[in-house]
Structure 1
């Protein structure tokens, strides 16, 4: 390729890089056993399956996602590398062609090589997203022991109440359960807060990088089509000679214009913008207003005392013989409705930031645990 015209001859920081400094090279580009190309699909499958087979249960799904994203990054690296090799080969092939084809293919090689470089830079920014998602995985793994400890104590209490209802160890275990639930509540709150913070940051990295990459590729594609206009594709008859090619300065100017456009590109001047419809804007604004109102209410509100909401039950006295069920049916229905109302109030108080202390009672802790145990597939029961 004509290196004097190539955008690879100099590497001055672009306006976008000055505004948003580039991240360090991707962690997937170093420390490989089989070089930059890796071992292909076999390595991808091994990483994906191994990630889901080990580690805490809570972090398994996200661990698998992180490993799958590493596969994506390595595939992008391979595409970038092969793109640059294709660009060089295009220029080599064009050397033996007519002057206009030779000059244009050489400049097209420059543009394609630039796309390969952009894809390689995109991998580095993509790694920012992946590393941020890994931080969520790490906090999930740290929460798992507190969940396991709470579940273990709960199982021990249930076993003792079944085998030795009057065992003095039940009281000791119940006190340990209160402490374990308080620790778990703190860990779950941290997980909830960090997950929301990090997922927004992670996908902001990815979408910003994707937007910049696609906009710049679109710029290159536009200038590539301008280069193609320099080729005279008018049919000639046998023995007829084509006019001498006089587009060297034009092709050089197109490459320089392309370089200037890429250098001066910033996110504020992006050509493509996602515009919401009136309905989408209204619904999104309503959601933001609700979040703001809840946040302000959690800061200024005094919360509720839930200390007497879940009084311990005497299991022996709570059993009702089968022949007495009809007599207490009405009372049972009323108590069940009141219990459902209490559960709803309890969940609302737990969701409100700063609504109660971690050690106020077992009710807030048990309510949070029950919320997680219900799972995503169970439909909420209408009151």
Structure 2
């Protein structure tokens, strides 16, 4: 079976890496006493599916691993907010231009933390939808087990009592069990495809929005840096008085407006297919469409709620049969208290509230 785990085999440098070579490997990635992974994460991942149906074990482990990813992202978001506050506190004692710019940079970094917190919520839509496939797999397992059990009983009787009248009865039960299993397997196949596409549509839409908004913040952050006067001065020389307070406020306001008004239709990054990829895609669609029906790939990048398949579906409707092998863990108290949404976003807002 062919499996590809990398987009490129040789790992040749990307255009971005050629233009801006990557730094050395982070020192935090080595020398850990207990290894690279979190012990709690490893335990949850390895224990996932241990007591569930065989058919659902692999997907149960995937669902648990995604939960570990989400917990890590939550931690990153909280710590990002704390970093933003600390940056603002450090800059308060610096010169006017550095003090003002670090305060505004703290606002932007705090906003990144809030975006990551929102991204976790949207990412959970993907996880819950994948979880519903696991629930369907778990519900199909009993029909498989019943069919296998009857088959084993028939084989055993034919070996021990070839003329037993029970064989005819069991064969009739096997026919019914095979019919039930056939229906269950068809439903599993259909629902798996539907939910798989829906789940990763949630994830990719969330990734796209999150990445675009991070790019917006990064762009305005670089505009803020232009307000810092980095011209070298000689000892005893006085820098010009800083007059960028209004400019920094305007940059922050423009950034907030850009984030507020962002919609997917105005996304700057477009995923355009090459001629070869489009031809292959059209050939794939041609095998499924009716004769004479045109191929339309225009909606391939549309968000799920705009597709003809229906409106956006809340996560609660994706739960399927309530097989929740990991629900007991979802009800646990969070590892650490979540950062309040109304936390500090910079010294300026703190002064306004104090006034």
Structure 1 position 168, deviation (Å)? 1.3
Aligned equivalent of 1:164: 161
Aligned equivalent of 2:273: 276
Say if 2:58 is the partner of 1:61.
Answer: yes
Counterpart CA distance in 2 for 1:221 and 1:152 is 61
Say if 2:107 is the partner of 1:110.
Answer: yes
* Deviation sequence 1:63-95 (CA, Å, 0-9, x none): 000010000000000000000000000000000
Q: Map 1:140-159 to 2 at 5 A.
A: 140-159=137-156
Say if 2:122 is the partner of 1:91.
Answer: no
Structure 1 position 169, deviation (Å)? 1.1
What TM-score do the two structures reach when normalised by structure 2?
Answer: 0.71
Aligned equivalent of 2:255: 258
Select the residue among 214, 217, 225 that pairs with 2:222: 225
Counterpart CA distance in 2 for 1:52 and 1:188 is 21
Structure 1 position 290, deviation (Å)? 1.5
Select the residue among 175, 178, 203 that pairs with 1:178: 175
Higher relative contact order (CA 8 A, sep 6+): 2
Aligned equivalent of 1:375: none
Select the residue among 121, 134, 139 that pairs with 2:118: 121
Counterpart CA distance in 1 for 2:260 and 2:269 is 18
Aligned equivalent of 2:339: none
Counterpart CA distance in 2 for 1:203 and 1:54 is 27
Select the residue among 244, 248, 251 that pairs with 1:247: 244
Q: Map 1:285-300 to 2 at 5 A.
A: 285-293=282-290
Say if 2:226 is the partner of 1:234.
Answer: no
Select the residue among 174, 191, 196 that pairs with 1:194: 191
Counterpart CA distance in 2 for 1:187 and 1:200 is 20
Counterpart CA distance in 2 for 1:55 and 1:191 is 17
* Deviation sequence 1:32-68 (CA, Å, 0-9, x none): xxxxxxxx92321221111131200000000000010
Structure 2, unmatched stretches of 5+, are: 1-36, 294-355
Aligned equivalent of 1:133: 130
Structure 1 position 167, deviation (Å)? 1.5
CA RMSD across the alignment: 1.3
SS of alignment partner, residue 188 of structure 2: helix
Counterpart CA distance in 2 for 1:290 and 1:224 is 49
Counterpart CA distance in 2 for 1:228 and 1:84 is 20
Counterpart CA distance in 1 for 2:70 and 2:282 is 35
Bigger fraction of residues in helix: 1
Say if 2:210 is the partner of 1:213.
Answer: yes
Say if 2:219 is the partner of 1:204.
Answer: no
Select the residue among 39, 44, 62 that pairs with 1:42: 39
Counterpart CA distance in 2 for 1:43 and 1:54 is 19
Counterpart CA distance in 1 for 2:274 and 2:75 is 39
* Deviation sequence 1:212-251 (CA, Å, 0-9, x none): 0000000000000010011000000001110000111111
Counterpart CA distance in 1 for 2:290 and 2:187 is 21
Counterpart CA distance in 1 for 2:118 and 2:224 is 25
Counterpart CA distance in 1 for 2:289 and 2:70 is 37
Structure 1 position 172, deviation (Å)? 0.8
Aligned equivalent of 1:322: none
- Of stretches 159-168 and 246-255 in structure 1, the one that deviates more from structure 2 is 159-168
* Deviation sequence 1:268-321 (CA, Å, 0-9, x none): 000001110011111111212212249x9xxxxxxxxxxxxxxxxxxxxxxxxx
Counterpart CA distance in 2 for 1:194 and 1:151 is 23
Structure 1, unmatched stretches of 5+, are: 1-39, 297-383
* Deviation sequence 1:256-279 (CA, Å, 0-9, x none): 111111111000000001110011
Counterpart CA distance in 2 for 1:290 and 1:107 is 55
Aligned residues: 256
